[in-house]
Amino acid sequence: MQSAILQLSYLIGSVTFIMGLKMLSHPDTARKGNLIAAAGMIIAIFATIFLYEHAGERLHNYGWIFAALAIGTIVGTMAAKKVQMTAMPEMVSLFNGMGGACAMLISLVEYNKPEVKETGTMLVIALGMMIGTVSFAGSVIAWGKLNGRIKDRTIPGGQMINFLIFAGLIALVILVVGAFFPASPGLFYGILALAALYGVLFVMPIGGADMPVVISLLNSFTGVAAAFGGFLYNNPVMLTGGILVGSAGTILTILMCKAMNRSLKNVLIGSFGGQKAGVAGEAKEQGNFKEISLNDTAVLMAYAQKVMIIPGYGLAVAQAQHACHELEKVLEEKGVEVSYGIHPVAGRMPGHMNVLLAEADVPYEKLLEMEDANDQMGTTNVVLILGANDVVNPAAKEDPSSPIFGMPILEVEKAEHVIVNKRSMKPGYAGIENELFFRPKTSMLFGDAKKVLQSLVSELKQL
């Protein structure tokens, strides 16, 4: 009876994960889906604590178990409540790294158990160790790069070094599994060391503009490693959750690579976005840019028929999403059609801009994907760019020597007027000059995004 209740709890947990993931696909149901999946996880956790048996023995040390649960709950809740939207990508990276660390520790514990292990079990342990450690080390480096503590570092011959390390990892896994001879513990711990080194080296040279893809890829690694834990413990919930995270992360990674016109192979060998040498445009004479006043901007937007807002990381830094929504409402009161053009890799993580605007209650229907936004750009009177840079840089289409060449962009120059709000003329996260700022259609509106938007709202209300 106890075993049947446990399996039923696991089934409920697995079903809620699938339901939750499905509901996360739309903002109207995302919050509810998150709560449903969380409820399923709680059921699975407590069923495991009180009902799981192995070799006739149930879990004990409840004091340690519940102390760990309490500490994790308190730390996680406080971190989630206090984190700013600008720091959300680094928190996601750090939490994802903790998942990889858990998979790594599971493999360490299972390897050191005295019972004889079958070849299949050893393979799962070794692969869980390798993938979990890569995810943990890579996520920590990504966290450091996102918050500015770690700078990009390109090692001469880095691609070849990463390839050799990866080949060494595969060789060690084969030896540890026992395909040729029983392996010593030193070889198993060699997997730990090499995987950690690989995780560091493959993330270290990756450029900032490519970081959303890396976060997505590392997330998929953690999911796969968790699925191996599900195999080890014959736990359907771990297996289902790991497969969902791994497959969703992989699909998202492929979609984002396509959106940036990059190769997934280059991500894996550590060259993704790391080539910034000889940035095109650094030696070019760009000419002069022209500024526009708040009053002129307000007049231009008030008498437009169609305005498109392009959000970027600068909007998140200024925490200006609510002011942006207020601008949208004021313009619509004046009969202006307002929409948002969302580039798939705008910000620092997948869906960053969508989450930011959803927080301000911007209707989901107003958020246009890149292809739809580009289709409407030719009929748009005014494009207002708020802190976006690389995703609107024409060098991606026009300059073969640019490190972002080939990346699809929001084609804002098709619009009648382009207004760019930035704090300064400094390059974006990819570290390259944006020729858009010097084009005839473009006007610069300098200042903090939140203050500028609030002033624009005031100006519009007076017209």
Closest CA to 321 of 206, 450, 419, 432: 450
Tracing tokens 């016109």 back to the chain, one arrives at 261
Catalytic residue among 152, 390, 399, 448: 390
Query: What is the 3-class SS of 292-317, one letter each residue?
Result: CCHHHHHHHHHCCCEEEEEECHHHHH
- List, in order, residues 6 or more apart from 239 with CB less than 8 Å away: 227, 230, 231
Q: Output the six-digit token pair for 105.
A: 């520790």
Would you tell me how many other CB atoms lie within 10 Å of the CB of residue 56? 5
C-alpha to C-alpha distance for 94 and 227, rounded to whole angstroms: 20
The verdict on whether 448 is a catalytic residue reads no
Are 245 and 251 in contact by the 8 Å Cβ rule? The answer is: no
Q: With 0-12 CB in 10 A as exposed, 13-18 as middle and 19+ as buried, what is 66?
A: exposed
Residue 183 DSSP one-character state: P
Q: Are 308 and 340 in contact (CB under 8 A)?
A: yes
What is the rounded distance in angstroms from the CA atom of residue 102 to the CA atom of residue 226? Answer: 8
Contacts of 28 by beta carbon, 8 Å cutoff, 6+ apart? 364
Closest C-alpha among 321, 295, 322 to residue 463:
295
> Comparing C-alpha atoms, which of 114, 238, 121, 138 is closest to residue 178?
121
Distances (CA, A) of 170 to 26, 178, 258, 362: 40, 13, 28, 48
For residue 443, give the 3-state DSSP assignment. strand
CB 318 within 8 A of CB 448: yes
- Count other Cβ atoms within 10 Å, centred on residue 275: 13
Long-range contacts of residues 365-369, Cβ cutoff 8 Å, at least 24 apart: 366/328, 366/338, 366/339, 366/340, 367/339, 367/340, 367/342, 368/308, 368/339, 368/340, 368/341, 368/342, 369/342, 369/344
The catalytic residue positions are 390
